[in-house]
Amino acid sequence: MNKFFERRYVVTGIFIVIIITLLARLFYIQIVDDRYTLYANSNVRRTQIVYPARGPILDRKGRVLVQNEPIYDVNVNPKEVRAFDTVAFCKMLGIDKAGFDKRLAKAIKYSPNKESPFEKQLPVEMYAALQEKLFEFPGFYVQPRTVRAYPDSVAAQFLGFIGEATPRDIKRSNGYYRLGDYIGVTGVEKSYEEVLRGQRGVKVQMVDSRGIPKGSYANGALDTVARSGERLTSSLDIEIQKLGEKLMKDKLGSIVAIEPSTGEILCYVSSPTYDPNLMVGRERGNNSAKMYNDPYKPFFTRPIQAYYPPGSSFKPLSALVALQEGLITPQTTYNCPGYYMAGNVKVKCTHVHGVVNLSNAIAGSCNGFFDMVFEKLMNARGPRNTTPSFVDWRNKVNKFGLGAKLGVDIPNEGRGNVPTALHYDNIYHPGRWRSSTIISLAIGQGELEATPMQLANIECTIANHGFFYKPHLIKGIGDKDIIKDEYTQKNYVGIDPQYFEPVIDGMQNVVEGNNGYATARRSRIPGIIMCGKTGTAQNPHGKNHSLFVAYAPRENPKIAIAVVVENSGDGGNYAAPIASFIVEKYLKGMITKRESGITVDEFANMNLLPDLALYQHDLQRERRRDSIRAVKADSIKKFKADSMKKATQLKSAKNNKPGSWGNLFAGRGKGK
């Protein structure tokens, strides 16, 4: 012992204090702070998404419209990238060094230590070459996926296409979609997205510090199995769809054919169309830009988005409304001098028809007769009391599905236009407009506008003698013929069945008649009675649009159709023959020789594309209308905000929409 003996306690004290400090720190990071467990997990776990195959879409007879093809995406995790032979790598992917740097920078921007897409959609051959060498490129992974493939390249606007989820999609999906995921953008791909996409699976792997997989995490406790998307059976008939697209080649317009007894859409042609395969693969960007800039707008879904004045094709509807009102009878006649005097206004008729009854007026498309009918309708409550009569008329027309969305299972359907009383009040001052002011509505002109879908739907209603099913394109999901309830409900239009026969007589004569006024007589189908009505939609910027609506056969109707050929003149010239080919093909499975000598090839080879200079003008008008619609939508939003109650109602209505799919699944689950 020496005099500094007590210093041992100081040294001991220092030792103890410092070691306890270390223990305190250990206590903090091991017990208190639980972030490190998360960090360790994120170090060692790599979650790989197992993408389910998207559901294929078949036609009504089970033939494939769209299926899947394997492709491979290259992903990169910047954290794991080490020095490697970039030249060889770039060569393999067919990119240059600048492209490599750009892609890597983008990936780093997304996340420096998470996997993100580097290059997409490598074809199988490229994948095979890359796979062999992949171990030489640390941090790069190949993610197998499938892309859409369209064996027959038809029905592009119906099927729509898929594309990468936008940041907005990702946000709206509450994080379901991730960067690089595909999502339905248009058409059925969009409206049936939840069904088609299936359910993603995940595979959680353990990786070492160099990112080399070391087996599944916790024996796959966190893994989930991917469930393939449901197969959709569409109501489309691939045969007549192909024929329709062939006939509409080099023309603008659309063909919509519906099975009246179900509301199933059989044919859905929007022309010009495009090869859906162009919207797949690495060239997609270029192709889509090209099509987007195409002045004829192939992405414009004419069957549900284009508005046309129905013209004379509106006449049967007019007649039905008047018959139901009791304002005319089938025996009502009009002596057509070649015009009609609506008050002081002289309205021209196409011909001097002489004395015509209802059926003859339809067959001969006598404007005078229908101007008379319209005046009777408008003056039902007295000639100076037009507004209530107009409102009444408008409601009846609405019931046929005009002026509102039909509820087709394809996004972005247009509502067409049936003018309101308010509309005329604004133009003419309330109470200052008369039947003569709006006489052009009588013959389907004026402000009246309808989509081809709506026109075809009117024919369904006539074929069914008074009701229609909401037109729809999908008739079955998976193995079951499940469609939404709304597609199996009859929508009555408020016209008693007995009023249809005289109208149909007239329509039959449009095709079958012999009196020289039968505007579609060239389109007679041997052995099939087709009831139709031609129409000519006036086009101030060029040739009129040719319209034809019909259904066939007269007894036990199988198909209702509306054909619009833009800028081609009278309905009988182009629209009716095209419709007749579709109808015949559908009913007989073949096309027979016609009396009139018209052939499919003759029509298929016609080029009726309008002069671009004139067409651009139309487009501009269309855009203006779109912008007006957008403004309207805004004012609706404001209105919503004003009324809390309504807003919540609307909200719950909105919520119900996806919910119905949820119910669908729930139902299926129970069934099993």
Return residues touching another protein (CB under 8 A). Answer: 1-5, 7-8, 10-12, 14-16, 18-19, 22-23, 25-27, 29-31, 33-37, 39-41, 43-44, 79, 112, 206-210, 214
DSSP, res 401? T
Amino acid (one-letter) located at 580: S
Amino acid (one-letter) located at 25: R
Distance between CA atoms of 459 and 4, rounded to whole angstroms?
Answer: 114
Exposed/middle/buried for 327, CB within 10 Å: 0-12, 13-18, 19+?
middle
Inter-residue contact 301 to 321 (CB < 8 Å): no
The tokens for 25 are: 């720190």
The tokens for 632 are: 């309207």
The tokens for 176 are: 């379901």
Q: Torsion angle of alpha carbons 630, 631, 634, 636, nearest 10°?
A: -100
Q: How far apart are the first and last CA of the chain?
A: 89
DSSP, res 524? -
Which residue matches tokens 């720190």? 25
Amino acid (one-letter) located at 124: V
DSSP, res 51? P
Amino acid (one-letter) located at 298: P
The tokens for 250 are: 């080099």
Total length of the chain: 672
Q: Which residues contact 112 (CB under 8 A, 6 or more apart)?
A: 78, 79
DSSP, res 204? E
**244: number of CA atoms within 13 Å, CB side?**
34
Inter-residue contact 381 to 388 (CB < 8 Å): yes
Largest CA distance in the chain: 143
